[in-house]
Amino acid sequence: MTLPNQLTILRIFLSPVFLFLFLQDEPLLKQISLIVFIIAALSDWYDGWLARKFNYITEWGKFMDPLADKFLTSVGFLGLVFVGLLELWMVIIIIIRDFSVTLLRIYADKKEFAFVTSYYAKWKTMLQMTFLYYLLILYVADVTLYLGEKHKDLFNILLNKYLVYYVMLLITFITLHTGYVYVRKNISLIKKIFTR
């Protein structure tokens, strides 16, 4: 098995490890969970770089790598639901949309069709990841006793429930809209895929 594929497996394995540690009451374990999440995210960048540089591209990797990415992101958002920062319905919409489009792209690739991915969808992913990191880092910092107590007013502003709610609402809307745009742009290809 190639190194990029091993890193993909590592990312899948680290996702539930992150969630388990993140949901513990001990602040130190929450800090470790953040490190685990960052390592998992970096493995995504590194395995992609390796695959392109050394042509370590396999059918298994093309199938599993994007799913591992979505799994990690989904677990991150769900962790924030469990600690009360995010609304479950928003996260469910994002997970369903992202997995649906990812599986559709994988199936299209298997059928040797190339779908058009817009910069809009890439901005959506960037917004999702930026806000996810924002919340994870601030939440862990807030529950770390020294930081949380010393800068409580600042954390109350940065993690204000209305700010978090409406930013996540915007991201949820953008995620849904990019899914609609994606299907609309590729509707003719989608019809061919399922009639071929």
Residue spans per domain, the chain: 3-195
Q: What was the pLDDT predicted at 135? A: 97
Per-residue pLDDT, 72: 94
Average pLDDT estimate for 130-135: 96
Q: What is the mean pLDDT of residues 151-158?
A: 85
Residue 55 token pair: 């042509």
Residue of higher predicted confidence among 7 and 162 = 162
pLDDT for position 152: 81
Name the fold adopted by 3-195. Answer: Four Helix Bundle (Hemerythrin (Met), subunit A) (1.20.120)
Question: Would you say residue 91 has pLDDT above 90?
Answer: yes
The answer, yes or no, to whether residue 177 has pLDDT greater than 70, is yes
